[in-house]
Amino acid sequence: MPGATFPILRVAIVGGGPGGLSSAIALSKLPNVEVTIYEKAKELQEIGAGIQIGYNCWKVLELLGVGRGVRGHVQETIIHRNGLNGKPLREQKSTAAEPRYRGQRVRRTRLQAALIAKVPEGVIKLRKRLISLTNVEGGGVHLVFEDGEEVIADLVIGGDGIRSVVRESVFPDHAIQFTGRTIWRVIIPKSLILDIPEMTSSTAWWHGTAGHFYNCLVDDPSEIPEDEQMFEIAVHNVVPAATVKEKRFSWGIPATNERVESHFTEYDPRVRDALSRVPQGLWKEFSSFSGPRLKKLIAWDKVVLIGDASHPLTGAFGSGAAFAMQDSWILAQAIPHTLSFSQPLASALDIFDSIRSPYYQRMYEHLDHQGKKIQDAKTNNPQQTFEESLDVKVKSFGGEALSWIYQNDIQEVWEEFVRNEKEHGKQSLK
Ligand SMILES: Cc1cc2nc3c(=O)[nH]c(=O)nc-3n(C[C@H](O)[C@H](O)[C@H](O)COP(=O)(O)OP(=O)(O)OC[C@H]3O[C@@H](n4cnc5c(N)ncnc54)[C@H](O)[C@@H]3O)c2cc1C
């Protein structure tokens, strides 16, 4: 609410991922808000190859004033193939009416650099690993960092990802576990695979019996010369989690080519050829962890969880960066909205929770429903062939049924909340 005044609000953001950075951008624009990001890394270095930016993400990037700096490969067509023989099964075409909202695959570093560029000077503090968080009755939140620094904040934003210390502190009974899905990701020069038929002509999913191979370009050809363009490969292998005995880490550990290739020996020769061209030492391995839905994303009237910390699903919809940034933007609307009506900070957190909790609940329900559909198809047809199971899987991708995710315009969501509030005369308008 422009022009609103309220006492200085000291905000501690834990984590400098897309959620933390976008919170800092959005909240720094508010009067009387003092923002600090505490990030455990010694430098903000993004790992994990490329990232999908669709309509929902472009919309929130625009609101944050960041969209222009983010450019990558426009995905006109996405092909789903039988990964074992390469047979095309389904083609998805870009449906965005306006070119600027088309789906793009971009280097993660591009998104991160664009966000960092908009964070005001001096806001990010590196080498600050949060180790504990305590509720100070009547007086903020006490944060302790590994290096011994202690601070008191009026509001803590937990943007510290899937293994969130903030979440663990406010909801100690919540736990995440390995899902059985292992993901390996890499970006390599496009020139290394140019001669492999149909490898660079479109984004493709090559579905196998226990996972898939995904390939995509990540650069805008009008900006990056052909010989400098990069190519992304992301491969998934899924096994029953209980069969995995080795210790798993969630984020970006190195993996050998042998380890990766050993899971794809039955795939189409083009897939195996592409994997064999990856220079040794570049693969990064990610173990997918997830945990149950949190009933609330807020605690103590002064802690709020955003992004992966708030809904531990490890990239289930390929849009987690957008969700994290939407959380940030909504929070930055709710705070001045309530404080300008002399409501306490807790009311802003309630508003945030009332908008974002049901949204995440819907995601959990969708995943349960999908899992049930796949299971039912197997139960109803115990002799189900690989081709039949592929058919069920491929039909579940994208489309109208998920427009509440991929076509979500967060500004409209906020405007609808304000309209409803006016109609029903809720608290902040008293
Ligand atoms: C394999 C894979 C593929 C994905 N693909 C996509 C995609 O295509 N598109 C998309 O939108 N999303 C994708 N996602 C999801 C996306 O990466 C996440 O949803 C997004 O990064 C979440 O942002 P965040 O800011 O909540 O958390 P993170 O990006 O995890 O950032 C958390 C930050 O907190 C810091 N931190 C952690 N603990 C502490 C602590 N104790 N103290 C201080 N700092 C701490 C970390 O160092 C990190 O910088 C994918 C995820 C995975 C695993």
Evaluate whether 86 touches 322 at the Cβ level (below 8 Å): no
> What pLDDT, in 10s, does the model give residues 206-252?
999 999 999 999 999 999 999 999 999 999 999 988 888 887 776 78
Q: Is 38 in the pocket of ligand 1 (CB under 6 A)?
A: yes
- Per-chain mean pLDDT for the chain: 91
Q: Is 165 in the pocket of ligand 1 (CB under 6 A)?
A: yes
Which amino acid makes up residue 268?
D
Work out which ligand 1 atom sits closest to the CA atom of 57.
11
Using only the alpha carbons of the chain, give its radius of gyration: 22
Q: Is 83 in the pocket of ligand 1 (CB under 6 A)?
A: no
Evaluate whether 367 touches 293 at the Cβ level (below 8 Å): no
Q: Is 321 in the pocket of ligand 1 (CB under 6 A)?
A: yes
First to last CA, the chain: 16
Contact partners, residue 147, CB within 8 Å, separation at least 6: 127, 128, 129
- For residue 380, the model assigns a pLDDT of 85
Contact partners, residue 108, CB within 8 Å, separation at least 6: 46, 47, 48, 49, 50, 51
- For residue 347, the model assigns a pLDDT of 95
Evaluate whether 258 touches 276 at the Cβ level (below 8 Å): no
Q: Is 307 in the pocket of ligand 1 (CB under 6 A)?
A: yes
Give the tokens for residue 115. 């966000």
Work out which ligand 1 atom sits closest to the CA atom of 16.
49
- For residue 139, the model assigns a pLDDT of 84
- For residue 4, the model assigns a pLDDT of 46
> Pick from 43, 45, 49: which is nearest to 283 by CA?
49
Q: Is 312 in the pocket of ligand 1 (CB under 6 A)?
A: no
- For residue 329, the model assigns a pLDDT of 98
Q: Is 15 in the pocket of ligand 1 (CB under 6 A)?
A: yes
> What pLDDT, in 10s, does the model give residues 291-307?
999 999 999 999 999 99
Domains of the chain, CATH where assigned: 9-44+126-176+292-429 (3.50.50.60), 52-118+177-290 (3.30.9.30)
Contact partners, residue 319, CB within 8 Å, separation at least 6: 52, 54, 56, 57, 405, 406
Q: Is 14 in the pocket of ligand 1 (CB under 6 A)?
A: yes
Q: Is 160 in the pocket of ligand 1 (CB under 6 A)?
A: yes
Contact partners, residue 192, CB within 8 Å, separation at least 6: 231, 277, 278, 279
Work out which ligand 1 atom sits closest to the CA atom of 320.
19
Point out the least confidently predicted range of 109-123, 135-149, 161-175, 373-387: 373-387
> What pLDDT, in 10s, does the model give residues 16-55?
999 999 999 999 999 999 999 999 999 887 666 899 999 9
- For residue 3, the model assigns a pLDDT of 42
* CB atoms near residue 221 (< 10 Å): 12
State the pairing for strand pair 253-254/284-290: antiparallel
* 40, 106, 124: residue to mutate for ligand 1 pocket, most atoms within 8 A of CB: 40
- Ligand 1 atom 26 nearest Cα: 307
- For residue 2, the model assigns a pLDDT of 43
Q: Is 159 in the pocket of ligand 1 (CB under 6 A)?
A: yes
- For residue 160, the model assigns a pLDDT of 97
**Average pLDDT in the 178-205 region?**
94
